[in-house]
Amino acid sequence: MSKLRVESFTISLDGFGAGPNQDINNPLGVGGTSLHGWAFSTRTFQKMVLGTEDGATEGVDEEFAQRGFTNVGAWILGRNMFGPVRGPWPDESWRGWWGENPVYHVPVFVLTHHPRPPLVMEGGTTFHFVTEGPAVALARARDAAGGKDVRVGGGVNTIQQYLRLRLIDEMHVAIAPVLLGSGERLLEGINLPELGYACTRHAASPLATHVVFTRQ
């Protein structure tokens, strides 16, 4: 069976995966962008997200950035990762943060309490809005992935839901040398050993410490 993976999810030294006051001007919360310097430096990020050929082509950071797009056939996102709109959809004008050709290029399943028709984008990305909960979203994502893995993109609350259900097989967390002070803590109320997770790899670069947790 395909794996459910978290990849390249970055937290601060004080454990926050996003800063406070997320809105259209601060999609990662105030200060949240500072977490991702390690990813910005890589060729994979520059190519997949920004469409350039800049960035490092080797090293620990590039290795982890690259593996985040390897063998991924579908994604799962929380509603807040798709956009800043809260509550019922007022209309269908919001089409994501990424323009008409998003970075995913595979089906993406967005957890929400409010129905919306599928949104077909350029480059192979279709956003499917799932109101039946995380287990149904995972089942649909696995069907769409065609035997490849499913990646949980976040945010914090969505990852926590899948961890508590013991559905995440592997989780790569990058710890950035940044302090946010407040926001959303990734492991708030989460007991990883009790849920069956153990650290199976760690590696450091000048910009982050990379840790992999695996469900035993």
The span from the CA of 27 to the CA of 48, in Å, is 19
Whole-prediction pTM value?
Answer: 0.95
**Confidence category of residue 49, pLDDT binned at 50, 70, 90:** confident
Using one digit for the tens of pLDDT, what is the confidence trace for 73-125? 999 999 999 999 999 999 999 999 999 999 999 999 999 999 999 999 999 99
CATH code for the domain of 132: 3.40.430.10
Domain span at residue 115?
A: 4-215
CA distances to 77, 94, 116, 128, 207 from 91, in Å: 20, 8, 9, 16, 40
In the chain, the number of structural domains is 1
pLDDT of the residue at 203: 98
The span from the CA of 53 to the CA of 44, in Å, is 9
Select from 124, 166, 159, 162 the least CA-distant residue to 145: 124
